[in-house]
Amino acid sequence: MEPKEWAERIVAGDVRVASRLMRDIDDRMPWVLDVLKELYPYTGKAYVVGITGAPGVGKSTLVDVLIERFRARGDQVGVVVIDPTSPFTGGAILGDRIRMQRHSTDGGVFIRSLATRGSMGGLSRSTSDILRVMDAMGKDIVLLETVGVGQDEVDVVNIAHTSMIVMIPGLGDDIQAIKAGILEIGDIFVINKCEREGAERMEREIMMMLELGAQREDGWVPKIVKTEAIKGKGIKELLEAIDAHRNFQEAPDRKRVFLQKSLKIELMTHLRDGITTRILGFLGNEEGLNRAVEEIISGEKDLYTKSEEILDRVLC
């Protein structure tokens, strides 16, 4: 099957072909690039909502409820769950996401779990490529769930149109550090499990930090929503907040600024990734890398000199 035919089938909604492509994207098969090029003209319509936060805050439950609400509106929904910490998912659905699976018989919902990782990095490239496939499939909304608060997640948040940061009351001491870091990337702050003690205090604290922090460059004033997702409480307010931010993002000038920012991240990710592949190829894959390491261990060359030497040989 030619790349063009792959693309046509995916655009026509062939779930099997799309699944196969996504698996090969996640496995970093080189041939996928040609299909992605063909799909490119069909992309740019899906609205991506990022859902991030520490483990245990109830992100999956929120995603589950949001799927339901977006479906009720008639939206086609895609879900990408990124779980860099788990080597066991491999594209399958994790045990704790079983709840979400009740949507798997609904043809309007497409859920993928990504576990890509490895010392060579690569999380982000798979992610953005898989979002593009969902987009080409005609998904109106793609929910992008990430665990963690590292650089990967910051990048992921940067390619989502709307970023929700989910927190719960009572996580203790160093949550302050997180708050400081996510102030600039959160469009909506969700205080989930808001029946817990400390929800009001948490809301006041976030408000205070938002007031103390520098005003956001784009002028958006982040919203704070309290939810108890498991009981469906606060979800109406959450949807209103998402809609409000979407209206904001879809103003023509904003749309362009966002596109510039997210494409820049995507392009750099692709460049870094492509180069890593070529360095490994140049060195003779893992074996060559091992030989370079041996030179360093034996004391023949130090780490810094050796890395410069390789760069000089790979680059023009």
Rounded to the nearest whole angstrom, what is the least distance from the CB of residue 171 to a copy of itself in the complex? 4
Rounded to the nearest whole angstrom, what is the least distance from the CB of residue 236 to a copy of itself in the complex? 23
Q: Rounded CA gap, 217 and 203, in Å? A: 23
Task: Select 184 or 195, whichever has its Cβ closest to a copy of itself.
Answer: 184
Q: Rounded CA gap, 261 and 18, in Å? A: 27
Task: Select 72 or 174, whichever has its Cβ closest to a copy of itself.
Answer: 174
Q: Rounded CA gap, 61 and 287, in Å? A: 44
Q: Tell me the sheet residues that pair with 77.
A: 109, 141
Task: Select 16 or 298, whichever has its Cβ closest to a copy of itself.
Answer: 298
Q: Is 79 left (phi over 0), alpha (psi -120 to 50) or beta?
A: beta
Rounded to the nearest whole angstrom, what is the least distance from the CB of residue 53 to a copy of itself in the complex? 10
Q: Tell me the sheet residues that pair with 196.
A: none
Q: What phi and psi values does residue 40 have, to the nearest 5 degrees? A: -50, -45
Task: Select 37 or 73, whichever has its Cβ closest to a copy of itself.
Answer: 37
Pairing label, strands 141-147, 77-82: parallel
Task: Select 207 or 267, whichever has its Cβ closest to a copy of itself.
Answer: 267
Task: Select 72 or 316, whichever has its Cβ closest to a copy of itself.
Answer: 316
Task: Pick the closest to residue 137 from 77, 73, 82 (CA basis).
Answer: 77
Chain center to CA of 190: 18
Rounded to the nearest whole angstrom, what is the least distance from the CB of residue 244 to a copy of itself in the complex? 25
Q: Rounded CA gap, 289 and 197, in Å? A: 53
Rounded to the nearest whole angstrom, what is the least distance from the CB of residue 76 to a copy of itself in the complex? 23
Rounded to the nearest whole angstrom, what is the least distance from the CB of residue 108 to a copy of itself in the complex? 25
